[in-house]
Amino acid sequence: MDATFLLLLACGLALFGYVLGRQRAAAFTARAPSWRAVHSRPGFHGSFVALAVAIPALLLLGIWAAVGRPGPSAVGAAIVLLAGLAGGALALRRLEPSFRARTWVERATMLVLLAASVLAIVTTVGIVLSLIVESIRFFERVPVTEFLFGTRWSPQTAIRADQVGSSGAFGAVPLFWGTIFIGAIIAMAVAVPLGLLSAIYLSQYASGIARRILKPVLEVLAGVPTVVYGYFAALTVAPAVRQLGLSLGIEDASAESALAAGLVMGIMIIPFVSSMADDAINAVPQAMRDGSLAMGATSSETVRLVIIPAALPGIVGGILLAVSRAIGETMIVVMAAGLAANLTLNPFKSVTTVTAQIVQLLTGDQEFDSAKTLSAFALGLVLFLITLVLNIWALRIVKRYREAYE
Amino acid sequence: MSIDTLARVAQNQRSVDARPLMTARDVHVWYGPKHALKGVSLDITRENVTAFIGPSGCGKSTFLRCFNRMNDTVAGARVEGRIELDGQDIHAPEMDVVQLRARVGMVFQKPNPFPKSIYENVAYGPRIHGLAASQGELDHIVEHSLQRAGLWDEVKDRLQDSGTALSGGQQQRLCIARAIAVDPEVVLMDEPCSALDPIATAKVEELIEELRGRYAIVIVTHNMQQAARVSQKTAFFHLGEMVEYGDTSQIFTNPREARTRDYITGRYG
Amino acid sequence: MTAVAAASRQPTDWGHPRLAQRLRRRHRSERLFRAIGLSALVVAVGFLALLLGTMLKDGVSGFVQTQARIDTTLDPATLELSADRSPEALASANYLAVYLRDVRESLGQDGVRIASINGWTELRRRVLEDPGLVGQRLTLWVPVRSEVDQYAKGRIDVGADPTLAPIRPEQVRAYARLEAEGRIRKAFNRTFLSAADSTSPESAGIRGAFVGSLLTILVTLALAFPVGVLAAIYLEEFAPKNRWTDLIEVSINNLAAVPSIIFGLLGLAVFLNTMGLPRSAPLVGGMTLALMTLPVIVIAARAAIKAVPPSIREAALGIGASRLQTVFQHVAPLALPGILTGTIIGVARALGETAPLLMVGMRAFIVDAPRGFTDPATVLPVQIFLWSDDVNRGFVEKTSAAILVLLAFLLAINAVAVYLRNRYERKW
Ligand SMILES: Nc1ncnc2c1ncn2[C@@H]1O[C@H](COP(=O)(O)OP(=O)(O)OP(=O)(O)O)[C@@H](O)[C@H]1O
Ligand SMILES: [Mg+2]
């Protein structure tokens, strides 16, 4: 019997229970001397019965799905349905005018609400656990120190022992460097000035109409899927960058380069930086601006000497969030940065990043237990921890900054 | 109105009328479709404190902000009419608004020190306008301005502390020091004491009295007693019009207009 | 003291040349600053224009197909059809034989180098639509091979050394002859919208990926929307202020900023490896994206709920509604437009997501649209990624065309969000 079918059946049974409970309650409500004699309205009685059917049935079904596979057998299905029926029958017997069905239903609803919000914690814990468990298995094969401080990355473990490079090398420093080089250096060198200046221009100089048109345009820039940026980087920007490199006399300018990926990533981050900066600038009270203008400062002096210093914490927080987003960005680097683990300062050369390697390691067919696939989880763990620290730090700065002006 | 205040009004009477430093002729202001100021004409004399009084929303701040063209910064605001500073039209193309605002300083209702040190707050104006040739001169200007604002003794040991860490009254005096540090000719004050307690208010009022020798001062206030105490000339505004203008003693003791009398005696507003 | 201090400074002489010059310099730097700001904005917007322009330039031709006209006779003998005309029998007939024969007849001996080898599917489609065509003669437009198509669109430069060009000289000659005979036309590329993936560009379409995207997003929505809204209601209306709710808050805020690929790793480790759910399935992809979208919805829904003024709650509580009734019957409906706007934005983001879906294997090569939530599937962004990697030049315009479809789709979704926001946004 199909699990989906069983699910539907349980739901149907619950609905049936609802109708039955409601009918019975409606009957005794009609007979009651006054509406005060009945604690709960019929609908609550119905809902109570429905819950009594659904909860045991779904609980069993859930356990079944988690433990046994494939699909529940006929016996299992019978147990699930019987549990539902038993729950419903017990509930029906309890219905009477003084029964506090509403209290029960509300309590159950609160539990559902609580469960929904706990899911966020569950997800976080799930991420941490799955990353840590797989990482531990990885570090059983490869020492942590080699992973964190080694400078050679070549995860191809060979099928046959006598093959060249069969051991594989898991020194992730070139990956970390590539991630920082592209995401935190090149992309930020593009995004911070452009995003900040755009925000300043929009908030201080642009006319109302220009603002109304240009802001959504920037938002469109933020809504373009990263795979599109990646394609654009690979198709248009990378060849142009290579050409530039060659014309600058850099002979080993490669088709995939840190610069191409970083540039496009920076452009992608612009709207993010500009909207954070816009928030920070708008949080600076108008009185500051007026105070400066009334002193005879020009707009640019007001911006440079009063607004930016006042908004600095907010802007810094925004930049930290932008860095966190840039180093976690995947498609652009997969498509434009390449897979060569170079430890280089030359932006025209190909470098690789943590995210690009994760994709590379986990796509295609390989057995799940090899050091190669497990290393992806170790990389994921590092990425998660770094972005987590950046986010918490940034949110704290931004929050303190908001409070300062409230 | 107390006997006390009246006595004070009479005392202020002795001030001489000087030739006008700023003149406004038939000034209108619109905020979008709203006609907020309807043809006001007024002279601001040197060595005199002019008070603007009137019920809330009557256009006092609007008019005040015309004198240093702060209304330029409001989107959708339109100003018409002629305003002159020392005989120069302040809307003329050759009049530089940056310079104008250095010559016509402003103090706001809520103290608005910059989130910088006390020293930097006062040094802000001289720095951007390039008024100090050396660090020593800048120090000198800062010290003098703080002294004039009556704040020097309270802050001289902590000039590097943040200006926002001062008390409300100190902040307002800091803003006054900031405004006079560029040595303006006119100081516009928009309800400078409304956020202050009585003691701080008294200090600011003393300060205004003290500064009167050097700057033309215009003050907007909701406090009748304050207007009587600090000003020699008073203008009463109502619904965007200037209803009456005259010597403060005359306005408070013998107003010509019924509306002025009603307002001063607290009938409305 | 004041008198001395006042006397020690001369009134500022604003006409002094030094100050006048300084003023000019300040105004110059003001203009410069403004110009720099403007150019930053122009660069950002210009980049968007460049991106869209490139996609349009490359992609529009993806919606056009070069076709060749053939005359064909659907004789039962060559089709290897017996008297049986059941759909199964019709579907498995030998259209290829008929097709190859008639292509040769219509387009000449070198015609087979022009017409797409997959053109026979067009015969099958027509026959399945109308079984009466068996035994008839009919004229058909079939797609040409990808390299001929590219040549016809002027994207192939035969250049100095024709042996190096992706198209052969005899193909070029045959094409010129057929064009002169009027057997070539350019028409709207229906294949692109109606077919799924294929190894030959002229037969590849986005329908498979599109359906995959829809199925995936349906799962995402079905999971993330109710859970997100319920969580938001709890946190905003009922949660006590304690360490647990703080922890929930921090988790949500952080999940909103966790890189999407991490969610892919989670999906791989938990949904595939631990729970054993099927790889490449919209179900798993949708669950992964739901975890990613959840915080977005929670944050938006909380903001919307917070915006409902307390007076509404007080009014409802005042007439004796329980707190739950108040929330579900009064607060939630008022917050709904805001919640929906946030949800749509979250869904739009999920629709454009690639990396986490690669992790759970949603890169299946499928020649037919997936039929269910557990069928192997791919989604539009992943399809774009796969095509962008293909060495076959014919896929360049397909990639760009697919990007145009994706962007148009996302733009439409966002327009709905903006509309909702403007239509129902209430200022209390
Ligand atoms: N930026 C603005 N946009 C639109 N209308 C404005 C603006 N500023 C002021 N107004 C309107 O112009 C009128 C005059 O305002 P103004 O601030 O000059 O009043 P006021 O006399 O200073 O009042 P108060 O004593 O309360 O400060 C008011 O009706 C006000 O609503
Ligand atoms: Mg005012």
Task: Report strand pairing: B34-45 vs A153-154.
Answer: unpaired
Instruction: Give the ligand 1 atom nearest the CA of B65.
Output: 18
Could you tell me how far CA A147 lies from the centroid of its own chain?
26
Q: Choosing among A284, A290, A295, which should be mutated to test the B contact, i.e. which has the most B CBs within 10 A? A: A295
Domains present along chain C, CATH in parentheses: 68-187 (no CATH), 207-424 (1.10.3720.10)
Instruction: Give the ligand 1 atom nearest the CA of B62.
Output: 18
Chain C interface includes B210 (CB < 8 A): yes
Q: Choosing among C9, C16, C22, which should be mutated to test the B contact, i.e. which has the most B CBs within 10 A? A: C9
3-state helix, strand, coil in chain A (%, to 5): 75, 0, 20
Residue minimizing CA distance to atom 30 of ligand 1: B57
Which long-range contacts link B13-18 to residues 24+ away (Cβ below 8 Å)? B13/B232, B13/B247, B13/B249, B15/B47, B15/B48, B15/B232, B16/B47, B17/B45, B17/B48, B18/B45, B18/B46, B18/B47, B18/B48
For chain A, the chains sharing at least 3 beta-carbon pairs closer than 8 angstroms are B, C
Distance A287 CA to ligand 2 centre (A): 13
Q: In terms of CATH, what superfamily is A169-405?
A: MetI-like (1.10.3720.10)
Q: How far apart are CA A183 and CA A325, in angstroms?
A: 8
Q: Which residues of chain C make contact with A194, given a CB cutoff of 8 A?
A: 40, 43-44
Q: Who among A116, A119, A220 is closest to C48 (CB)? A: A220
What ipTM goes with this model?
0.88
Q: Who among C5, C14, C18 is closest to B148 (CB)? A: C5
Give the pLDDT confidence score for residue B16 in this predicted structure. 44
Give residue B47's pLDDT band: very low, low, confident or very high (50, 70, 90). Answer: confident
Q: A59 vs A3, A82, A267, C112, CA distance in Å?
A: 13, 13, 49, 62
Q: Is the pLDDT of residue B14 over 50?
A: no
Task: Report strand pairing: B34-45 vs B49-53.
Answer: unpaired
End-to-end distance of chain A based on CA atoms, in angstroms? 60
3-state secondary structure A172-191: CHHHHHHHHHHHHHHHHHHH
- For residue C400, give the 3-state DSSP assignment: helix
Interchain pair A395, C45: CB under 8 A:
no
Per the omega criterion (within 30 degrees of 0), is the bond before A239 cis?
Answer: no
* Spatial CA neighbour of A300 closest among C24, C33, B74: C33
Intervals of chain C under pLDDT 50: 1-8
State which of B28, B58, B64, B78 you would mutate to test the pocket of ligand 1, scoring each by most atoms of that ligand within 8 A of its C-beta: B58
- Domain ranges for chain A, please list them: 3-124, 169-405
Q: In terms of CATH, what superfamily is B20-112+184-264?
A: P-loop containing nucleotide triphosphate hydrolases (3.40.50.300)
Give the pLDDT confidence score for residue B17 in this predicted structure. 42
Q: Who among C43, C58, C254 is closest to A194 (CB)? A: C43
Q: A365 vs A375, C270, C358, C381, C414, CA distance in Å?
A: 15, 18, 12, 21, 37
Distance A295 CA to ligand 1 centre (A): 22
User: Do residues C275 and C243 make contact, with C-beta atoms less than 8 angstroms apart?
Assistant: no
* Spatial CA neighbour of A233 closest among C382, C347, A224, A354: A224
Give the pLDDT confidence score for residue C8 in this predicted structure. 43
Q: How far apart are CA A309 and CA A329, in angstroms?
A: 30
Where helices occur in chain B by DSSP H, the ranges are 3-12, 60-67, 97-103, 118-129, 135-148, 152-155, 168-180, 198-211, 224-230, 248-253, 258-264
DSSP annotation of C278 reads: P
Could you tell me how far CA B201 lies from the centroid of its own chain?
14
End-to-end distance of chain C based on CA atoms, in angstroms? 56
Burial of C252-262, coded b for 16+ CB within 10 Å and e otherwise, reads: bbbbbbbbbbb
Give the pLDDT confidence score for residue B104 in this predicted structure. 93
Interchain pair C19, B129: CB under 8 A:
yes
- Domain ranges for chain B, please list them: 20-112+184-264
Residue minimizing CA distance to atom 24 of ligand 1: B56
Could you tell me the two tokens for A248?
């600058």
- For residue A364, give the 3-state DSSP assignment: coil
Q: How far apart are CA B16 and CA B8, in angstroms?
A: 16
Give the pLDDT confidence score for residue C1 in this predicted structure. 37
Instruction: Give the ligand 1 atom nearest the CA of B58.
Output: 21
- For residue B242, give the 3-state DSSP assignment: strand
Interchain pair A217, C48: CB under 8 A:
yes
Q: How many residues does chain B have?
A: 269
| Count of alpha carbons within 13 angstroms of residue C117, beta-carbon side | 6
H-helix or E-strand containing C11? none
For chain C, the chains sharing at least 3 beta-carbon pairs closer than 8 angstroms are A, B
Q: How far apart are CA C369 and CA C193, in angstroms?
A: 12
Residue that has been written with the tokens 């986490």 in this structure: C356
Interchain pair A321, C51: CB under 8 A:
no
* Spatial CA neighbour of A275 closest among A306, A319, A308, A323: A319
H-helix or E-strand containing B77? strand B77-85
- For residue B246, give the 3-state DSSP assignment: strand
Q: How far apart are CA B176 and CA C3, in angstroms?
A: 18
- For residue C151, give the 3-state DSSP assignment: helix
User: Do residues C314 and C372 make contact, with C-beta atoms less than 8 angstroms apart?
Assistant: no
Of the listed ligands, the closest to the CA of B65 is: 1
Give the pLDDT confidence score for residue A163 in this predicted structure. 52
State which of B35, B61, B238, B241 you would mutate to test the pocket of ligand 1, scoring each by most atoms of that ligand within 8 A of its C-beta: B61
Q: How far apart are CA C312 and CA A404, in angstroms?
A: 30
Q: Who among C8, C9, C23 is closest to B98 (CB)? A: C23
Q: C74 vs A371, C68, C337, C401, C407, CA distance in Å?
A: 58, 18, 57, 34, 42
What is the number of other CB atoms lying within 10 angstroms of the CB of residue C84? Answer: 8
Residue that has been written with the tokens 């009246």 in this structure: B6
Residue C67 — φ and ψ, nearest 5°?
A: -125, 155
- Which residue of C lies nearest to A229 if distances are taken between CA atoms? C51
Ligand 1 lining (C-beta closer than 6 Å): B 31, 34, 36, 54, 56-62, 74
Interchain pair B129, C22: CB under 8 A:
yes
For chain B, the chains sharing at least 3 beta-carbon pairs closer than 8 angstroms are A, C
Q: How far apart are CA A33 and CA A38, in angstroms?
A: 9
Intervals of chain A under pLDDT 50: 1
Give me the total of CB pairs closer than 8 Å, taking one residue from chain B and one from chain C.
38
Q: How far apart are CA C80 and CA B181, in angstroms?
A: 102
Could you tell me the two tokens for B143?
């010290």
Instruction: Give the ligand 1 atom nearest the CA of B191.
Output: 27
Give me the total of CB pairs closer than 8 Å, taking one residue from chain A and one from chain C.
253
Q: Is the pLDDT of residue B69 over 80?
A: yes
Q: For all residues of chain B together, what is the average pLDDT? A: 87
Give tens-digit pLDDT for C299-308: 999 999 998 8
Distance B190 CA to ligand 2 centre (A): 7
Q: Who among B68, B114, B128 is closest to A291 (CB)? A: B114
Give the pLDDT confidence score for residue A92 in this predicted structure. 83
Q: How far apart are CA A22 and CA B260, in angstroms?
A: 73
Q: Which residues of chain C make contact with A368, given a CB cutoff of 8 A?
A: 273
Q: How far is C427 from chain B (nearest CA, A)?
A: 22
End-to-end distance of chain B based on CA atoms, in angstroms? 16
Q: B225 vs B1, B193, B257, CA distance in Å?
A: 8, 12, 19
Torsion (CA) B102, B105, B111, B114 in degrees, nearest 10: 0
